[in-house]
Amino acid sequence: MSLSEQQSVEQEAPAGEDYHLWHPFSQMQKILGAQNIVVERGEGPYLYDQNDKRYLNLTSCLWNAPLGLGRQDIIEAVHKQLNELSFAALFRTAHRPAIDLARKVAEIAPKRLNRVFLTSNGSESVESAIKMVRQYFHRKGSGKYKVISLENAYHGVSYGALAASGFADDQQGFGPMPAGFVKIAQPFNRDSQTEAEREAFEIACAEQLEKAIVAEGPETVAMFILEPVQGMGGAIVPGQAYFDIISETCKRHDIKLVVDEVTTGFGRTGTLFASERFNLDPDVMCLGKAISGGYFPLGAAVATDEIWEAFLSDTDAMRFNHGSTNAGHPGACAAGLAAIDILTRDNLIADAAARGEAFLERLQELKELQVVDNVRGIGMLFAIDLVRDPAGREQLDAEAMDMVAKACFARGLWVHIAGSRILMLPPFILEDSHFDEAFSGLKRILSRVPNWI
């Protein structure tokens, strides 16, 4: 599933002729015909709509605002930067906030990652990574160009990122997709019940990488891209064995390991980057979302020295012919520097992860409810899978999920509905009382679902 399950709640009906905003991943007919939330302001973990109704932001907006909204420290940093220099290009010339941000990101990035190519969003980071790796091999005179990725992966909307993504619905009607993209299974299966079954399934999935490489021809495969923990794919957290196998396979076949940490980066899974947690040694890391705390569009593709060096030459013909006007905007870099400073301060991420762990344990109680099939999570990332009938485990349909969304929003709980799943990626600033509010609301709503189906 994708962002396309946009929730709408009875509020204000935008009139057709006078409504010009075309929403992303949204059925505009539903938005025009129904009544819709217009968010007017945000404060800490809360959003307020046009009627001043308050919502607990259990998704950190689109998981990009883990520090909450309206923080004066970040706003002032951006304000100061825009006063000083509102824009300057990075095409050959530089500006100070970009230089400082790149240094900061290189300093905190896992292992060999050291060179920071700034972008404006996650899709652009993934697109940059794909082009970077393809061109790296081209520079080396190699024929490697294929990209292997996972089913149910979400990597973004531009053509390369979309082709690497694994949601068939999102690709429908946009074809033909670019050539050279190959999928293998996501390391998750609803039928694996015990720990041993789960591990065996994950190992089989990891071994699919080897099989796919051999089937395609190792001399043609450039990279394997994965979200260490799939977010949109359903909070899928593989065990260490999975990561050890895919890492070894990539190294043995000279295939670049690209981690998409657009969602997992900056603390979502309990460590600054999920790559640290799973001992990954990526060749490129894609960043976005929380890198600026959601205060300015920003992203980055962070590469090793080895990749960067392949582009060094005294001729322009060897340069990385890629980039966009607003990538690394001075205001975005200032927001990034301020957000990273806060995120890496004290024990903010570890404390959030500890509260997340307690919340996940509590959420497990929901499995007693008739419609709850599975509850998963890590750090501050949670998924609840809903079913119609626990025995047959038939997933809840779109109509029932619409009711779930409406009930959550009516109760002031801002969640994300993806297919038959509730996703929550709360801000790191939530306190015990917020988790109580979320848990009791969800329990009440989910216990009522059998009446609606």
Using CB under 6 A as the criterion, which residues of the chain lie in contact with ligand PMP when the complex forms? 121-123, 126, 154-156, 227, 231-232, 260, 262-263, 288
Cα separation, 219 vs 374, in Å, equals 40
| Of residues 283 and 373, the one with the C-beta less far from ligand PMP | 283
Record the tokens describing residue 451, joined without a space: 């009446």
| Of residues 183 and 434, the one with the C-beta less far from ligand PMP | 183
Cα separation, 379 vs 72, in Å, equals 26
Cα separation, 333 vs 100, in Å, equals 8
- Nearest approach in angstroms of CB 152 to ligand PMP is 11
| Closest alpha carbon to 303 in 280, 328, 284, 275 | 284
Give the distance, in angstroms, between the CA of residue 280 and the centroid of all CA atoms in the same chain: 18
Instruction: Write out the DSSP string of 212-275.
Output: HHHHH-GGGEEEEEE-SSBTTTT-B---HHHHHHHHHHHHHTT-EEEEE-TTTTTTTTSSSSHH
- Nearest approach in angstroms of CB 417 to ligand PMP is 14
- Nearest approach in angstroms of CB 300 to ligand PMP is 12
List all residues 6 or more positions away from 83 whose beta carbon is below 8 Å from its beta carbon: none
Cα separation, 168 vs 163, in Å, equals 10
| Of residues 231 and 328, the one with the C-beta less far from ligand PMP | 231
| Of residues 49 and 260, the one with the C-beta less far from ligand PMP | 260
Instruction: Write out the DSSP string of 281-322.
Output: --SEEEE-GGGGTTSS--EEEEEEHHHHHTT--SSGGGS---
- Nearest approach in angstroms of CB 397 to ligand PMP is 24
Specify the amino acid at residue 44.
G
Q: Is 221 exposed, middle or buried (0-12, 13-18, 19+ CB in 10 A)?
A: buried
- Please answer whether residues 64 and 290 qualify as being in contact, where contact means their C-beta atoms are separated by less than 8 angstroms: yes
- Nearest approach in angstroms of CB 416 to ligand PMP is 10
b vs e for 11-30, b when ≥16 Cβ sit within 10 Å of the residue's Cβ?
beebeeeeeeeeeeebeeee
- Nearest approach in angstroms of CB 230 to ligand PMP is 8
What is the separation, in whole angstroms, between the first and last Cα of the chain? Answer: 21
- Nearest approach in angstroms of CB 104 to ligand PMP is 20
- Nearest approach in angstroms of CB 64 to ligand PMP is 8
Record the tokens describing residue 206, joined without a space: 């990891």
Cα separation, 326 vs 316, in Å, equals 22
- Nearest approach in angstroms of CB 263 to ligand PMP is 4
- Please answer whether residues 286 and 126 qualify as being in contact, where contact means their C-beta atoms are separated by less than 8 angstroms: yes
Measured at CB, which residue is nearest to ligand PMP?
122
Instruction: Write out the DSSP string of 54-98.
Output: EEEETTHHHHT-TT-B--HHHHHHHHHHHHH-S----SS---HHH
| Of residues 292 and 407, the one with the C-beta less far from ligand PMP | 292
How wide is the angle at C-alpha 98 spanned by C-alphas 130 and 159, nearest 5°? 25
- Nearest approach in angstroms of CB 291 to ligand PMP is 10
As a whole number of Å, the CA-based R_g of the chain is 22
